[in-house]
C-alpha cells in the first residue's frame, strides 16, 4: 500500500528555536496533504490543509505565521514550528491520499516534538 | 461535518470477536463511513470504509445499518495487536476531503 513518511520521528528543541517536520509520499503524488496535532490523551486535531503550489488553508485558531507550511512538490510537504515554546510540545501527524471521500487516507508515523 | 458518537472504551478477550459501534444519526446521503485506528505513539491506520453495503477486508468487517444512522466495525478475532483507539469518521467533500477525528473508542484486549 501507499506509504507516507515523516521525519524526524522525534525532536527536542530549545524554546525560541524553529523546527521543521517533513512529510513525504513515497510512492504516489499528493496534491493535498493534511497536518494534525495531537496532545496526550486527546484526539487528532486538524491544523491545516497543505496544497501543492499554493498557500495552505489553516483551521480556525491555528496561527499561520507560527506554523509555516510549504508544499513545494507533489511528494513533499513541510511544517515549520517557528519560535517554539513548551506549549507547542505535541505529536504532529501528516496525512496524504487521493483526497476523495471514497478513498483511504495514509498517515505518517508522527513526529513527537518536545520544547524545553 | 456530520458528527459520530462512539463509546469511550471497550474491552475484549483475545481470540474473541469485537463489535465496535458508531452512531451517526445526522449522516448525509453522500457521506462515506470510514474507520481508522491508532496504536500508541503511531499515526492512524486505515481500517475500512463503506457507503451503504456491508464491507469486508482482511482487517475487519463493516456492518452498516439500513438507515445508515449507525455502523459497526467487527474484528473477527481480536489479538493483543488490535489494542488501539478506533475512530469512526464520516467523510464528505470534494477532491480534498479532510478527516475530522472524534474521540474514538479505546479498545483493550486481554489474554
> What is the average pLDDT value for chain B, to the nearest integer?
93
Phi, psi for B80 (deg, rounded to 5) = -60, -30
Dihedral over Cα of A45, B96, B90, A5: its sign: negative
Please name the residue of chain A whose CA is at the shortest distance from the CA of residue B93: A101
> Which of the four pLDDT bands, split at 50, 70 and 90, describes residue B1?
low
Residue B92, pLDDT score: 78
Phi, psi for B81 (deg, rounded to 5) = -75, -10
Among A9, A13, A28, CA closest to A81: A13
Please name the residue of chain A whose CA is at the shortest distance from the CA of residue B92: A101
> Which of the four pLDDT bands, split at 50, 70 and 90, describes residue A29?
confident
Among B57, B109, B107, B61, CA closest to B86: B107
Residue B96 to residue A100: CA distance in whole angstroms: 6
* B13-72 pLDDT per residue, tens: 999 999 999 999 999 988 999 999 999 999 999 999 999 999 999 999 999 999 999 999
Helix, coil or strand: residue A60: coil
> What is the average pLDDT value for chain A, to the nearest integer?
93
> Which of the four pLDDT bands, split at 50, 70 and 90, describes residue A28?
confident
> Which of the four pLDDT bands, split at 50, 70 and 90, describes residue B2?
low
Our CA angle for A30, B86, B40, nearest 5°, is 80
Residue with the three cell numbers 474484528: B75
DSSP B60: -
What Å distances lie between residue B65 and A71, A114, B25, B49, B54, CA to CA?
A: 40, 43, 11, 14, 9
Residue A103, pLDDT score: 82
How many angstroms away from the CA of B92 is the closest CA of chain A? 5
Residue with the three cell numbers 513518511: A5
Q: Is A95 within 8 Å of B44 when comparing Cβ atoms?
A: yes
Phi, psi for A86 (deg, rounded to 5) = -50, -35
Say if residue B95's pLDDT is above 50: no
What residues of chain B, 30 to 59, have a C-beta less than 8 Å from chain A?
30-32, 34, 36, 38, 41-46, 49, 51
Please name the residue of chain A whose CA is at the shortest distance from the CA of residue B52: A102
Q: Are B34 and B25 in contact (CB under 8 A)?
A: no
> Which of the four pLDDT bands, split at 50, 70 and 90, describes residue A97?
confident
Amino acid at each position: 500500500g501507499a506509504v507516507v513518511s515523516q521525519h524526524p520521528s522525534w525532536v527536542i528543541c530549545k524554546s525560541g528555536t524553529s523546527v521543521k517536520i517533513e512529510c513525504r509520499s513515497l510512492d504516489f503524488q499528493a496534491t493535498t496533504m493534511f497536518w494534525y496535532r495531537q496532545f496526550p490523551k486527546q484526539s487528532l486535531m486538524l491544523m491545516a490543509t497543505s496544497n501543492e503550489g499554493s498557500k495552505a488553508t489553516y483551521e480556525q485558531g491555528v496561527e499561520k505565521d507560527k506554523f509555516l507550511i510549504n508544499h513545494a512538490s507533489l511528494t513533499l510537504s513541510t511544517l515549520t514550528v517557528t519560535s517554539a515554546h513548551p506549549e507547542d510540545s505535541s505529536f504532529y501527524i501528516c496525512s496524504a491520499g487521493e483526497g476523495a471521500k471514497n478513498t483511504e487516507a495514509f498517515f505518517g508515523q508522527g513526529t513527537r516534538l518536545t520544547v524545553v | 461535518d456530520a458528527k459520530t458518537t462512539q463509546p469511550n472504551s471497550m474491552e475484549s478477550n483475545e481470540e474473541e470477536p469485537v463489535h465496535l459501534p458508531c452512531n451517526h444519526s445526522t449522516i448525509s446521503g453522500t457521506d462515506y463511513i470510514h474507520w481508522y485506528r491508532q496504536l500508541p505513539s503511531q499515526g492512524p491506520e486505515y481500517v475500512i470504509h463503506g457507503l451503504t453495503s456491508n464491507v469486508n477486508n482482511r482487517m475487519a468487517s463493516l456492518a452498516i445499518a439500513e438507515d445508515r444512522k449507525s455502523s459497526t466495525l467487527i474484528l473477527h478475532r481480536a489479538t493483543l495487536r488490535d489494542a488501539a483507539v478506533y475512530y469512526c469518521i464520516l467523510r464528505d467533500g470534494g477532491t480534498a476531503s479532510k478527516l475530522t477525528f472524534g474521540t474514538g473508542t479505546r479498545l483493550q484486549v486481554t489474554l
